[in-house]
Amino acid sequence: MELVRFDLPQDTKPPSDLMAELHESHQVPIGCGGAVFRWRRRSDGFRMTLYQHCFCRSRLILDGVEPPTTLLMFSFDRHALCFELEASSDSLVGFVVAAEEADVVRPHNWMFLEDFVPPPTYRVLSKPDGKWKFTRTRPANDDWLRPGFDDSQWDTLVAAPGIELGSVGRQHRWLARRALELGGCYLTTPPDDGSHPPTTAPPGQHDTPFRESPSADRSAEVRLWVRHEFVTGPEAELKLP
């Protein structure tokens, strides 16, 4: 097996309504050096590569489904990106998320730059903008995982101060770095929600440095349900200039 980048037909296949996508072995279950090549319609939406890091145990759910890969397919629609977080204390509740529109291979155009039209760029970023909501009460059903759920009564996550990449385990550091580079921000619970367990630093004052810890796996005294709703499409607010 030659471990080379998968070749694309863009230099031979004429332009059409279809687009070719390449999914490499670090993105999908294939095996070292493998790649999946697929064709799909442009109107189906677009895909984004997700970078995330949590200091605690987490489960990511997009529109009610756990994504099988870090390449997420988005239709032009409203979406809900949700987390279930478990930690031994609030001082370990800290996560960063950044999803960036993945490379779009446009047959033919890729090789002939005069025809090349850059694809619109979308990003989904964890930010203290009031749009990342959480609750400490288990939702009654799965409606919260889907777009359109009323989370107006939920609390709002805030920026987690003082997090350094050095506190992130080496295995996950590149994910955290990439998420931060793209503009993501570590979020955590606010200092004044009064729910912090007494075993941690004073409520909201995360002077205990965030650090990946095996204790996060041993007990889960803090459980959070987090959701972020956003819209993709030509008029979406997330579309970058």
The 1-40 site mask, x for binding other proteins (CB under 8 A), equals: xxx--xx-x--xxxxxxx----x----xxxxxxxxxxxxx
Return the number of the residue (115 or 181) whose C-beta is nearest other proteins: 115
Cα separation, 134 vs 56, whole angstroms? 15
* Residues whose CB is less than 8 angstroms from the CB of residue 188 and which lie 6 or more positions away in sequence, other chains included: 90, 93, 94, 95, 157, 158, 159, 160, 206
Least Å from the CB of residue 225 to other proteins: 24
Return the number of the residue (67 or 128) whose C-beta is nearest other proteins: 67
Ramachandran quadrant class, 63 (left: phi over 0; alpha: psi -120 to 50; beta: rest): left
* Residues whose CB is less than 8 angstroms from the CB of residue 150 and which lie 6 or more positions away in sequence, other chains included: none
Judged by CB under 8 A, the number of residues near other proteins is 32
Cα separation, 37 vs 28, whole angstroms? 11
Which of 51, 53, 54, 69 binds other proteins (CB under 8 A)? It is 69
Return the number of the residue (8 or 175) whose C-beta is nearest other proteins: 8
Least Å from the CB of residue 73 to other proteins: 8
Closest CA to 81 of 137, 145, 156, 141: 145
Q: What is the largest CA-CA distance in the chain?
A: 65
- 113: contact with other proteins by CB under 8 A: no
Site residues (vs other proteins, CB under 8 A): 1-3, 6-7, 9, 12-18, 23, 28-41, 44, 68-69, 73
